[in-house]
Amino acid sequence: MASYDVVVVGNGVLGMATARALQLRDPRLRVLVVGPAARTGAASAAAGAMMGCYGEVTAQLLRTPSGRAKLAKGIAAAGHWPAWMEGINAELPQAERVSMNLGTVVFSNAKSGTIEDENYAAIQQALREHGAAFEELDPNRVPGLNPAEDCRPSRALRLPGEGSIDAAQLLRALTALIERSSSLSFLDATVTALEIHGGRIKGVRLADGRVVAAPQVVLAAGVWTQTILDTAPELARRIPRLFSGGGTSLVLETIAPAPPHVLRTPNRAFACGLHAVPRGGNQLYVGATNTLFAQPMLRTSPADMFFLLECALDQLDQDLCAAQLVAWQAGNRPVAIDTCPLIGPTSVEGLWLLTGTYRDGLFLSPLLGQHMADRVCGGPGLFEEAFSPERKPIALYTQAQARAEALKHYLAMGSEHGIRLPRVGWHRAFPKFYEQMLNGLYDELGDDEFVLPPELLAIVASDRARMVPFFRDYYAQVRQAWA
């Protein structure tokens, strides 16, 4: 049985950043990173890797202490990136170094209902509150933006401190550092269970039956963390359950050079907004859809492909119709049932969680990796752990707030998909239809203490007969666990 000081479960950016930070914190530690080399369906491999926190701000985020705590982590993470990249690049040859492409333009159009207006205003509010740099632009003179006439933007902001990084390049750089280290190791394998004895972690069990021993284990396996936790059911029911935010993205080879900056809308219609990210030369990353599932999405669907292409051609650049397709990508963001992250120790001595970061994992990786390394080594960490893994789901909404927010998202989704209705009466009937559907779902879920966030309603709506009892039973188990 192989033995290490620390096993990091998960070879995405968060897992590898944690291993790297452990090496810097204590070079004597023997650290093993375990995960399948293919990374099929993983978030990191398919990420657009927009580097910034203000472009992700929503009105809902600013309404709650938990939301503002998430924003504070994003602001802190931005400050860690320069030194983090400098440290990575100092150990790599020039050709393998990582660089950040600065510059993000956030634009708003009329394709997604009122929720886009609210989130655009929230971005401006957060920028002003924190004294961050931004510039208002003429929306009709944004380089790289050439939309159809009925998709012209009405407003645009330039955020000079935000930008993008090539996720694949970052993965390669972190992989190279780990492979060249004498104290860090990779194992191309899948962890299927935790080895817990007497309230302590003893190691992990692999799919082939082997056991890897370690007194410290960091679970950073993204959406696959839940499957591993389920092998310890008494612990699992005390941790907010994880779901998959399945996303489709594409990479194009354009005829003209790609725009020099990120182009993006505010978050809208359950998703992270439409965005285009330059990837060097004439390559352009376009993303992304976001649909929550009970299980990871391993392949993209024709519906998502069609929707994303239509949005790109109509709202970003009509000339992309002449581009060449390089790749379709499917990735899964880890989303806890309360949409808040899971960061810190558990009641099992030596077992740590680092997941549930939704759309922010890669951007937060220097901050979270160094925080986790310091905690594992007995330090206080870099921040107060407001999102401890063992907790009741955090209440972000009342019933009334959740229903109202869900209605905005569903109406925005209908607008994005180009639903057109007869004018007489239907402009009132259409919202009423959605309102009745959503009220029916929330009434069946029937819970005032634990209100399901609107993002997760898609899971219920897609299989009402099975998922309503599933969530009712889940919340009953949470009550029992915390009785």
The answer on 403 and 300 residing in a single domain is no
d(CA 197, CA 125) in angstroms, rounded, equals 50
The answer on 256 and 143 residing in a single domain is yes
Final residue belonging to a domain, choices 283, 317, 336: 336
In this prediction, residues 218-226 reach a mean pLDDT of 97
Tell me if 324 sits within 8 A of 253, measured CB to CB: yes
The answer on 332 and 418 residing in a single domain is no
Answer whether residue 297 is part of any domain.
Answer: yes
The answer on 453 and 307 residing in a single domain is no
Answer whether residue 449 is part of any domain.
Answer: yes
Final residue belonging to a domain, choices 299, 315, 336: 336
The answer on 266 and 129 residing in a single domain is yes
Q: Is the pLDDT of residue 343 over 60?
A: yes
In this prediction, residues 319-334 reach a mean pLDDT of 95
Residue reference for tokens 């057109």: 420
Domain extent at residue 422: 399-481
* Tokens coding 423: 């004018």
Q: What is the pLDDT of residues 348-396, one digit of tens each?
A: 999 999 999 999 999 999 999 999 999 999 999 999 999 999 999 999 9
The answer on 248 and 159 residing in a single domain is yes
Q: What is the pLDDT of residues 253-283, one digit of tens each?
A: 999 888 999 999 999 988 778 999 999 889 9
Answer whether residue 207 is part of any domain.
Answer: no
The answer on 426 and 288 residing in a single domain is no
Q: Is the pLDDT of residue 146 over 90?
A: yes
In this prediction, residue 422 has a pLDDT band, given cuts at 50, 70 and 90, of low
Answer whether residue 458 is part of any domain.
Answer: yes
The pLDDT score that the predictor gives to residue 421 is: 60
The answer on 416 and 312 residing in a single domain is no
The answer on 406 and 316 residing in a single domain is no
The answer on 51 and 135 residing in a single domain is yes
Answer whether residue 306 is part of any domain.
Answer: yes
Number of structural domains, the chain? 2
Q: Is the pLDDT of residue 469 over 70?
A: yes
The answer on 406 and 304 residing in a single domain is no
Q: Measure the N-to-C terminal CA separation of the chain; round to a whole number of Å.
A: 39
Question: Which of 169, 157, 161, 217 is closest to 193 using CA atoms?
Answer: 217
The pLDDT score that the predictor gives to residue 434 is: 82
Q: What is the pLDDT of residues 65-103, one digit of tens each?
A: 999 999 999 999 999 999 999 999 999 999 999 999 999
Answer whether residue 249 is part of any domain.
Answer: yes
The pLDDT score that the predictor gives to residue 415 is: 77
Sign of CA dihedral 458, 459, 465, 467: negative
* Torsion angle defined by CA atoms of residues 422, 424, 427 and 433, in that order, rounded to the nearest 10 degrees: -90
pLDDT higher for 299 or 125?
125
The answer on 160 and 288 residing in a single domain is yes
Final residue belonging to a domain, choices 321, 336, 351: 336
The pLDDT score that the predictor gives to residue 242 is: 98
d(CA 338, CA 356) in angstroms, rounded, equals 10
Answer whether residue 184 is part of any domain.
Answer: no
Q: For the domain that residue 280 is a member of, what is the CATH number?
A: 3.30.9.10
Answer whether residue 35 is part of any domain.
Answer: no
Q: What is the pLDDT of residues 106-124, one digit of tens each?
A: 999 988 888 899 999 999 9
